[in-house]
Amino acid sequence: MNQIVECVPNFSEGRDHGVIRQITDAIESVSGVQLLDVDPGASTNRTVVTFIGPPGPVEEAAFRAVKAAATLIDMTKHEGEHARFGATDVCPFVPVAGVTMDDCAAIARAVGRRIGDELGIPVYLYEHAASRPERRNLADVRAGEYEGLADKLASPEWKPDFGPAAFNGRSGATAVGAREFLIAYNINLNTTDRRYANEIAYELRERGRWKRTGNVEPFYYKGDVVYFEEGKYPDGNSDFVAGSFEELADFYRETYGGDLRERYRSIGLDPDNLVGRPVYKDGLFTHLKGIGWVVEAYQRAQVSLNLTNYKITAPQEVLEAARDLAARRGMVVTGSEIVGVVPFDAIQAAGRFYLQRMGKSTGVPARDLVTTAAQAMGLDDVAEFDLDRKVIGMPAADGPLVGMGVAEFIDEVSRDTPAPGGGSGGAGHGAGGYCGLGISPGYASIN
């Protein structure tokens, strides 16, 4: 099996296309690497680049890209909507085929060491490449962003994994990691109010939000925050109030099946020191990060999401929940946007989901499933969604009827289109029966 690694570096430049081009030229200068996608954003002032290849070439291309960004991007002049702390903000490696997560973690460590040693840029390892558990979460590693980086580097507990523990004003710091395939997914709203986008993001994301009471309908953020008090430990999701954290943790485990102690640790709170701290309400989905922002170029707010395990939390499920939350607040979801690329199996599953909702057969060609998903999810609402460029592993386009093999012919007659028609279908059935292929006569019927 061929070994394929994906690399998805994010650069803190989304407006100067000349700079972006020089960075992607550095990537493409390495033989064996295929550039899949370049997704700049003017409002975020950030570009997400996706490329794949064998481990060695991908490792080299990643380093060359970081080196180019360090030369071309000056963080002292950077402004943008997206959280960031470096010219190359993040550089994750993702196993695609013939490689393991451990292999990608080793690549991340090798690239991180080169960045630190050769470029003098502080490097933090994260996710599966993290040097310690508290550095796994990218949000924790990047907390404080560029503006707080100097203070962070001065703290012994935040000494970088590679490179100097000194503030590099021009390049900032870089997070290098190994992770599962992440789908960067934005949901578009018919408003330019960031608070409204946050309202939905906080309901969806795994981290959840502060529990509130009082004026919480239809906008939860307008209520009063609930805090832990001595002898008063409220549940974030119900009216239950415990007398101690232990009692609350038992209730949480029995009611929701979760570990409340770990839950509060994951959001940076000490479960043994919660008095005076806000109570947290759970989000609707696990493996989902989210925040709201406004994209001036689109003239609308977006719910910006990262799906860190799409096999557990699927984009179509999140979208339908967002549509419901928006409608309850008088808003409309106008469509959605995939930043970078998406695996074929994820978008194919979405196509099946929407066909099933319509009461239609899912036994249609793969390309039709993807087209259905793109239309149902409004993936071309704010930018073109090119199936062949945006979907990794997209099967080849169907050919003309003449010259089709049996499998391609069966795909064609499974569609809701008038071609190939009863005559061709009958001929195909007869040929199939003659050859012992056993094609059902109902397969070619057009109703």
Q: 4-178: which CATH topology? A: Formiminotransferase-cyclodeaminase; Chain B, domain 1 (3.30.990)
CATH number of 286-392: 3.30.70.670
**Ranges of each domain in the chain:** 4-178, 210-281, 286-392, 406-444
- The residues assigned a catalytic role are 82
260: left (phi over 0), alpha (psi -120 to 50) or beta: alpha
Query: Can you tell me the distance from the alpha carbon of 443 to that of 33, in angstroms, rounded to the nearest whole number?
Result: 42
Query: Can you tell me the distance from the alpha carbon of 246 to that of 85, in angstroms, rounded to the nearest whole number?
Result: 38
Q: 207 by DSSP, 3-state: which?
A: coil
Q: Please state the length of the chain.
A: 447
More confident residue, 422 or 173: 173
Kindly report, residue by residue over 388-417, the tens digit of the pLDDT: 889 987 877 654 444 455 555 445 545 565
Q: What is the pLDDT of residue 336?
A: 98
Kindly report, residue by residue over 42-61, the tens digit of the pLDDT: 888 999 999 999 999 999 99
Kindly report, residue by residue over 213-239, the tens digit of the pLDDT: 999 999 999 999 999 999 999 999 999
DSSP string, 129-196: T-SSGGGS-HHHHTTTTGGGHHHHHHSGGG--SBS-SS--TTTB-EEEEE-S--EEEEEEES---HHH
pTM: 0.72
Average pLDDT estimate for 321-343: 95
Kindly report, residue by residue over 145-172, the tens digit of the pLDDT: 999 999 999 999 999 999 999 999 999 9
